[in-house]
Amino acid sequence: MDYSIMVTLGFLVFAIVMFAMERIPLSITAMIVAVGLHFAGVLTAAEAFKGFVDSNVILFMAMFIIGAAFFETGVAVDVGNIVNKFAKNETILIIAIMMLTGIMSGFLSNTGTAAVMIPVVIGICKKGGFNQTKFLMPIVFAAAMGGNISMIGSPGNMIANSNLQEAGLGSFDFFAYGEVGLPMLIVGTLFYAFIGKRFLPEVPTREPDANYQKNADFSHVPAWKKWTAGLVLVLTIAAMIFEKQIGVSLAVSAWVGALVIVATGVITETEAVKSIDMKTILLFAGSLALGTAMVKSGTGAFIANLIVDGLGETPNPLALLAVLFFLSVFMTNFMSNTADVALLAPIGLSLASQLGFDPKAILVAIVISSSLAYATPIGMPANTMVYNVAGYSFKDFVKAGLPLILVSAVVSLILLPILFPFNP
C-alpha cells in the first residue's frame, strides 16, 4: 500500500473515532488532521489551509452576520409569535412549528434557528397550555430536514459543493438539495402531526434547563432595525436564487447583505464578528483538507475500490445508493453531519469516477442522508441543545428519531433515483 494512502487512511480513522467520541472539540480534530497531513508530507501548506479561502467559507461567514441580525433584533421571535395565533390544537401547532423552523433553517444556521425557536415554542406552549416537553424535539428534527432546502442550509451542503467544484465537475444549483429536502420536510412534518406525535416524550426524564424558561425581551429594538434585518435577509436570498441571471456569486451577494447590516447599525461590528462561528469555520476548513488528501493520495479511490469489490464489478446503482445512504445515516448519528459529508464526499466522487455514475447523484444522496441525525442527542449541536433544555434522555431520541429516519429514508430513496439518476 502506498505511503500517502496509509497516512491518509490513518488520519481518516483518527477523524472518525474522534468525531464520534468528541473527547476534543470537532473543530480541533479537523485542524489536527489538516496540520498532520502537512507534516506527514501528504499535503503542502497551501493545500492544508486553502479551505479558509474557499468561497463557501466566505459565504458562510456573511450568512452568520445576516442571521445574527435576524435573531438579535427579534424578527425571528416576532415571526414565531404569529404562529401562536393559529395554534388552535396540538396537530396544527406541530405543523406550524416544524414548517416554520424548517423554512428558517433552510436559509439560516440550524443551530441558530433552534436556539431562537426553543424559547419561542416554550412561550407558545405557556400561552396555549400545551405540553412543552412534547413540542421541543420536533424543533431539531425540522431544523435538520430544513437544512436541505437550499445550498446555504447546512455546512455539509457547501462541503459537497466544494468537493464537486474542486473536481472540476461544476456546482449545484441553489435549490438542488431542496428537490428532495423540501418533500422530506413536508412528509416528516405530516408524519409527526398525525402519527409520530405518539413517539414524542410527554414528561422530562431529567431536570430541564431553567435558563430557557423565559422569552427574551426585544421590545427595546427599534422597528427600523427589524425591518432592515428582515428585508436584507429576503433580498440576499433572492439574489442567491437568481445568481445566474444577475451574474453575482453567492458569496458576494451574502457579503453585500452583511455589509449593509453593519453599515446601517442594525448590529455593531463587534456583534457581527462575534456572530461568526469559528468552530464551524475550522471544522469546515479542516474537513476540506482531509477531502483534498483523500483525492490527492488516491485514498478515496482505494476505499471506492473496496466498496465496488464488495458489490461486484458492475454494482446495481440502487444497491450502491442504499449502501452509501445508510452508511452515512449511521455515521451522522454519532458524529457531526458536517464531518460525515466531509468524510464521505471524496469517497463518493471516487466511486462516481470509477463506475461512470453522475457525481451529483452520489453527493446529493450523501448530503441528504447526513441530515438524518435524529436518533441521538449528539447527532447535531441543536440536538444536544434541546436535550439539555427539555431534560430528554438518550432513549427519548431513539424512540422519537428512529421512526423519522425510516420515513425520511423511504422518501429519499424514492425521490433520489428519479430526480438525480446515476446514469442521466
Mean pLDDT for the stretch of residues 255-262: 95
Q: What is the mean pLDDT of the chain?
A: 85
pLDDT tens digit string along 35-51?
999 999 999 999 999 88
Cβ atoms within 10 Å of 263's Cβ, excluding its own: 9
- Residue 210 has a pLDDT of 59
pLDDT tens digit string along 378-413?
677 788 778 777 888 878 888 999 999 999 999 999
- Residue 118 has a pLDDT of 77
Q: Which three cell numbers stand for residue 293?
A: 488528501
Residue 300, judged by CB atoms within 10 A of its CB (0-12, 13-18, 19+), counts as buried
192, 141 contact by CB (below 8 A): yes
249 phi, psi to nearest 5 deg: -65, 160
Q: Between these two residues, 92 and 308, which has the higher pLDDT value?
A: 92
Name residues whose C-beta falls within 8 Å of residue 183's C-beta, 6 or more positions apart in sequence.
411, 415
Q: Which three cell numbers stand for residue 180?
A: 428532495
Q: Between these two residues, 4 and 380, which has the higher pLDDT value?
A: 4
- Residue 285 has a pLDDT of 83
pLDDT(134) > 80: yes
**Per this entry, what is the length of the chain?**
424
How far is CA 171 from each of CA 52, 159, 168, 394, rounded to the nearest angstrom?
19, 11, 9, 38
Displacement of CA 80 from its chain's centroid (Å): 21
Q: pTM for this structure?
A: 0.74
Q: What percent of the chain has pLDDT over 70?
A: 94
Q: Which three cell numbers stand for residue 378?
A: 449528539
Q: What is the spatial distance between Cα 340 and Cα 318, in angstroms, rounded to a whole number?
A: 21
- Residue 325 has a pLDDT of 93
pLDDT(417) > 90: yes
pLDDT(213) > 70: no
108 phi, psi to nearest 5 deg: -130, 175
- Residue 209 has a pLDDT of 59
How far is CA 354 from each of CA 147, 170, 264, 327, rounded to the nearest angstrom?
30, 18, 52, 19
- Label residue 137 by pLDDT band (50, 70, 90): very high
Counting Cα atoms < 13 Å in the Cβ hemisphere of 233 gives 26
Mean pLDDT for the stretch of residues 136-160: 90
